[in-house]
Copies of this chain bind each other. A is one copy, B any other.
């Protein structure tokens, strides 16, 4: 039986498994889901002060999810006053999304806690190891993406 063949592969699999179920996106501190926080964060990150807002499709590609996923998240965020939608004047198919004041302060609070824990992680691992980890993970990502591309 093929099951135990490569102990390193086995070890890696187990590490992935464990890591995968780690909830590092945590902190619904502020009553928002992680996915909502990610959306707010990616709006904030890509919206300069006087911008009319970011496109829905820009958010979804930033987060690598499908458009309808973002639409739905935005629906809830708008209903709760975290973001505003406006229609783009130049191209009226596109919707511009930006943070409200409430959205701003909320995302600051949420990402504060969030980055604090990541800063702690960098301290825990050390800067060099942290960098290396980020790079190796990117490499792993590439590997599986290629694998998927090559076998349909």
Contacts and interface: CB of A to CB of B under 8 A. Distances in A.
Given A111-B3, A112-B2, A121 B134 contact: no
B3 A45 contact: yes
Interface residues of A, number: 59
A32 B89 CA distance: 48
A148 to B, nearest CB: 7
Given A111-B3, A140-B125, A118 B9 contact: yes
A134 B24 CA distance: 17
Copies of the chain in the assembly: 2
A5 B115 contact: yes
Nearest to A63: B17
Interface of A: 1-3, 5-6, 8-24, 26, 38, 41, 44-45, 64, 108, 111-112, 115, 117-122, 124-125, 127, 129-141, 143-145, 147-148
